[in-house]
Chain A
Amino acid sequence: MKNIILYLCAIALMSLISCQVEREGCTDPSAINYDVLAELENNSCTFPNVLMRFVPMIDDSTQLSFGQDYIINGLNVRFDQIRFYVSDVNLVTSTENFASEETLLATEVNKLEEIGELKVGDLQEVKFNVGVDSVNNHADPALQPSDNPLSADSPDIQHWSWTAGYKFFLIEGAVDVNGDGEYEPDASETMSIHCGFDSNLKNIALAITEATAVDRLGFELDVSYDVKGIFEGYDLANQLFSRPNSNPEFATEIMNNVENIFKIR
């Protein structure tokens, strides 16, 4: 009998103690797994994934299809590739200033790329660079993680080893310069413009014009770019080829236009 009483007392004491333990959980209201009852943060918070995608547009409502013909600056043009590096993505929301460490390579595939986890809040500004900052631009690409588009092991890498620098923005395609309705397969109508160099790094800042919420389900950020805008004021008929050793000024012209082609979809 004495043992039973002692046993019951122990249970009662344990219950009392357990009632005093604070509930552990995620205490951040901007997290996916926010626990309203939790009093003690246990570092279990997870946040919505942010995915980013760059979409080429031929006008405000039409997405560009690679391999098809379009009229730009009065000439028939076909695009085979438009590719560019996007780095230092910075998203300002009502709850944080988020800086991604990921570098993206926007390609004709228009793939959604994960850039990190963002707290729930209202998006206020989107900033990113087109190109690669000078430190990464001159780092050894063989030392980059193999899943990074800056890695020499990546099949998509755009790099000039002789400069130890990346091709920031690359355009490949054809232009019907003579207007005969066909694209000559030689240099006279083949478009190949490769832009790089530290001086051509472009900082893009996009204001948010419509209320955009980052909610608990995650967030997809579609940024469109105006393909015609790339060639604004550009002599497409006579400026088809650019490399650092051949018409580098064409690349500079292109990159100056690139600064103004992006907007949030």
Chain B
Amino acid sequence: MIRFEGVTKRYADASGTDRGDGSVAVDDLTLEAPTGKITVLVGPSGCGKTTTLRMVNRMITPTSGTISIDGRDTASLDVAELRRGIGYVIQHAGLFPHRTVLDNVTTVPRLLGTDKRTARTRAMELIERVGLDPAMAKRYPAQLSGGQQQRVGVARALAADPPVMLMDEPFSAVDPVVREQLQNEFLRLQSDLGKTILFVTHDIDEAVKLGDQVAVLRVGGVLAQLDSPAKLLADPVDDFVAGFVGRDRGYRALSFAAAPELSLADEPTVSLGASADDVRAVGTPWVLCVGAAGEPLGWVRAAAVESEVTRTVLHRGGTVASTTGSLRALLDAALSSPSGRGVVADDDGRLVGTIRAAEVIPAIEARRDAVASQAPAEEATAR
């Protein structure tokens, strides 16, 4: 657990004298990052989120207040020792260009005195674990893409198996596709490792996606709200948080609502290669096509089939929801389906049935009523 108690960081004003009128980066922050959870600090530029993070490993010294890790005041520890016990991931990875990937990853274990062989064996495991080809171990950072460098950065931070990780906008310098990939793998990794993570980002979507709890900071380093992502979306405390959290909050909040058991309609299907007559025999304008294992492939417009169903005539606009997914995915499947019937599959990807948006809405309303009647509860997050 990382605990901030009344932490303030004030920079001396331009004249260089600290008369108390210097700029305040972090203002009397009290916050707890619970063990084994991801706590995200989010806010606009100048909200002191990076300053807050960097005070934990004393890259920046607080003006007042204390920061403790598992009950130990960080100010009382030797600074190099403190930092070696904390995983540190930064925006541009900060890999050492003169060292191979492998030697980058072994940095902290080597500083701690682990022998080279042990350190390298462990490093190889981590390189694979973060989704890199083991052959990459011998490469130099300049030979890697931005996303690959960031994976190495994460592996390097994990190398000494620190209980606490500090991550400063680790995924913001890569393109959106790679970013999403990195985020998903990061969540998967965290579900195995259960580190205590303090994560800084300026991207509210990233915060809501990754955080077990999200701390929204406003300019001047004041904590505006600390809540679970679902609570944050559902109930922003003020206009600033509401504005920062952004549009489509109602819809996005459904991401955190697990799909209830709904009665799904059976959907007649055709296979690839089915003749035009087979398709028209179903009798609906749009017919669902499934693969050999029963996995939904796409919708076919009956009128458009000339001789038989091929992959090229499939309409792929519809999303597929999972029976164990979220209400948001369920609603989106219905809304995106050309037939108006949202495709629902089980965890193995096999078609279970379809559902209409009009049938999802009552489930959403029922959930709202249930939540309102209880004390404000923490919803199970469905990712």
Tell whether A and B belong to one assembly. Answer: no
Q: State the A residues within 8 Å of B (CB).
A: none
Q: State the B residues within 8 Å of A (CB).
A: none
